[in-house]
Amino acid sequence: MAEVFVVAVDGSEGSERALQKAIDLAKATGVGLTLAHVIEWSPFSFHTPDELAMRHKRREEELERARDAILGPAEAIAKAAGVGCETVVKHGHTAEVLCEIAEQKKASQIFIGRRGQSKVGTLLFGSVPGSLIQMSPVSVTVVP
């Protein structure tokens, strides 16, 4: 068995349940966790140099907020349960980035909640779990 599971974390109740399932299995198997948060971000837009500078500043602020508000509490839960973990926060298409992280970490499984924070986004763009199931290089556990 690989030494890591990737857990998609967005602060929603669904991701909290996915985190708990991953912790339970990690404790039983001695596997570590990579807690991942992906901020949706499109590189396909045209901006002036000033707009690009502001956009870069916003990106950095979003990364810091995600580390503090979303990943920090999830990391504390895993560590309190006695499970080793690391955190990753990136910008991009959520399912694609989670697949990239799983490949980089040589993960054996990805855990994700069935529903995340954005119900409107799911209606407009489709679900991340559905996309992830289609493209993942490893097993995906979708937790209700």
Q: Rounded distance, CA 36 to CA 55, Å?
A: 22
pLDDT at position 126, please? 54
pLDDT at position 85, please? 96
Q: Give the number of domains in the chain.
A: 1
> What's the pTM?
0.84
Whether 36 shows a pLDDT value over 80: the answer reads yes
Express as a percent the part of the chain with pLDDT over 90. 64
Domain of 87?
A: 4-143
Specify the higher pLDDT residue, 109 or 124.
109
75 contact partners, CB below 8 Å, separation of at least 6: 35, 85, 87
CATH of the domain at 132: 3.40.50.620
Whose structure tokens read 């209606």?
123
